[in-house]
Amino acid sequence: MSLKIIIASTTLLAWAQAETILGVTVFTRHGDRTSKHYKGYNLTNLGFQQNYNVGASYRDIYISSDSDKQIHGISENKAVNSQIYASAPDQAVLLNTATAFLQGLYPPLQNLGSDGGVQTLNNGEQVMTPLEGYQYLVLHGENSDSPDTVWLKGDEECPPATTSIKNFKSSEIFKQREQETKDFYASFWDAMRGVYDYQESNMSYANAYDIFDLLNVARIHNSSLANATSTEDLARLRTLADSAEFGSSYDAEDKARSIGGQAFAGGILAQLASIVSSKGKLKFSLLAGSYDTFQSFFGLSNLTSVSPDFFGLPEYASTMAFEIFTSENVTSFPSTSDDLRVRFLFRNGSITGESPRVFPLFGGQDTSLPYGEFVSKMQKFAITSPEQWCGICKSELLFCEAYSARDASTEQTAERNGTGMSNTVAGVIGAMVTLGVVAIIGAVAFFMWRKRGRAASPVPVSNKMSARSGSESDSV
């Protein structure tokens, strides 16, 4: 990375005095986990610790009163759920990722030397929450039946995205990489022959990430295979996996490849808009998701022009952060959005003592942008509603069928009005079809309500962040 970039990506310590942080949205990857090649994979103890440590680091930056970057008006010790929003796909590895992060962000009250969690009963008895004042922050685990699932898993259940990835894997450049690395991958067969469903023919660039993942996990956790792969070979396996996964997540000439990142961008816009519309009542948002979302957004926002490192996979527990701030020291939320700016930060991994670093977006030089300009640039590629996502993806998910049925009813009414049917009859039929659509939407809403059974989000449903799952994601 060049000196110019090192200067541009200044650490947080350089951004201190004459500004006020008003809100932050953070997107995190999971920590160390068992190999996703096997069903039921989950965080390891190391992974839990990594996500916890990153959460604690963000506490030091944005929650602690000792920090110059403390979010304006945020509760320092006792978590206030109306100030915090957290969302993750309904998948164990990502729900646990968000939980561990939140534990670091707001640890048990007794650990903070606070008695804020103590309640006094009428008989004088004092009672604290279990686990020494453990703080139960609301975490929204979203399933595949919610329209809000598109924000963090927009590449799933989207046929054009799937087709685009298949096209990449059948491209000449992909086939060339397969041929050039054939002997290299074959050399790891002895280390991989213990994988129950692998054959020697599977040892190729076509399985670049899976092979890297299996050998990397084995190097960390399997003593019998810890030395089966040299540091140099593992680094090359990682680089090849980088190229395969980035190519599956972004293509400047094929928008369908980056639909996940486009939907994520729309979700970020919605979350930042919620901070602004609530006048800063929403202060900190945490979103957990997959590495392909990182890579897709890196490409869309032109971070790859800032550093070639952005072509690579983010490390375990990596985070992206979007700060909303004003360049003045203020005591209340600014009355106009013209006074707001947005800054992007990235932290690659969970190394203790490392702070998120600032990077310019969209191929520019500025390390922050006026809020309006940031929104305008993001909207050039963002998918900003579930309905828009459904139209692009032609998805067969239930909530998309509701949108399709509504559109069909409108078209039918228009066609019948144009072929001699009276407006009265057409109106009755149109109303009946509309009622059918409402029934579909109502069924979806009722099912979601039954599945969730939890407190409402501080963000409106149309803007609320979440992520969908169903089966475990291919890219977490």
Q: Tell me, yes or no, whether 137 and 79 share the same domain.
A: yes
Region 237-259 average pLDDT: 97
Helix (H, G, I), strand (E, B) or coil at 182: helix
Domain boundary among 181, 216, 249: 249
Helix (H, G, I), strand (E, B) or coil at 98: helix
* 271 domain residue, yes or no: yes
Q: Tell me, yes or no, whether 369 and 400 share the same domain.
A: no
Q: What is the pTM of this model?
A: 0.84
* 344 domain residue, yes or no: yes
Q: Tell me, yes or no, whether 9 and 36 share the same domain.
A: yes
Q: Which domain range does residue 173 map to?
A: 169-249
For the beta carbon of residue 387, count every other beta carbon within 10 angstroms. 19
Looking at residue 309, its pLDDT comes to 96
pLDDT in tens, 84-126: 999 999 899 999 999 999 999 999 998 887 777 788 899 999 8
Q: Tell me, yes or no, whether 151 and 267 share the same domain.
A: yes
pLDDT in tens, 377-423: 999 999 999 999 999 999 888 889 888 666 555 555 555 555 444 44
* 388 domain residue, yes or no: no
Q: Tell me, yes or no, whether 268 and 355 share the same domain.
A: yes
Q: Tell me, yes or no, whether 197 and 58 share the same domain.
A: no
Judge whether residue 255 has pLDDT over 80. yes
Q: Tell me, yes or no, whether 14 and 154 share the same domain.
A: yes
Angle at 85 between CA 84 and CA 87, to 5 degrees: 145
pLDDT in tens, 412-436: 555 555 544 444 434 433 544 454 5
Q: Tell me, yes or no, whether 274 and 322 share the same domain.
A: yes
**Contact indicator for 175, 167 with CB cutoff of 8 Å:** no
Judge whether residue 328 has pLDDT over 70. yes
Q: What separation in angstroms does the CA of 127 have from each of 106, 107, 245, 328? A: 19, 18, 51, 42
Q: Tell me, yes or no, whether 197 and 316 share the same domain.
A: no
Q: Tell me, yes or no, whether 53 and 108 share the same domain.
A: yes
Contacts 24+ apart (CB under 8 A), 339-342: 340/22, 340/276, 340/370, 340/371, 341/368, 341/369, 341/370, 341/371, 341/374, 342/272, 342/368, 342/369, 342/370, 342/371, 342/374
* 384 domain residue, yes or no: no
Residue 286 bridge partners (DSSP):
26, 86
Buried/exposed 206-234: b ≥16 CB within 10 Å, e otherwise: bbbbbbbbbbbbbbeeeeebeebbeeeee
Which residue is listed with tokens 């040892």? 203
Q: Tell me, yes or no, whether 229 and 314 share the same domain.
A: no
Which residue is listed with tokens 């703080």? 135
How many CA atoms, within 13 angstroms, populate the side-chain half-sphere of residue 322? 26
* 389 domain residue, yes or no: no
* 315 domain residue, yes or no: yes
Q: Tell me, yes or no, whether 368 and 429 share the same domain.
A: no
Our count of domains for the chain comes to: 3
**CB-based contacts of 443: which residues, under 8 Å, 6+ apart?**
none
Which letter does DSSP use for residue 344 in this model? E
**Contact indicator for 281, 22 with CB cutoff of 8 Å:** no
Distance CA 346, CA 314 (A): 10
R_g of the chain computed on alpha carbons: 24
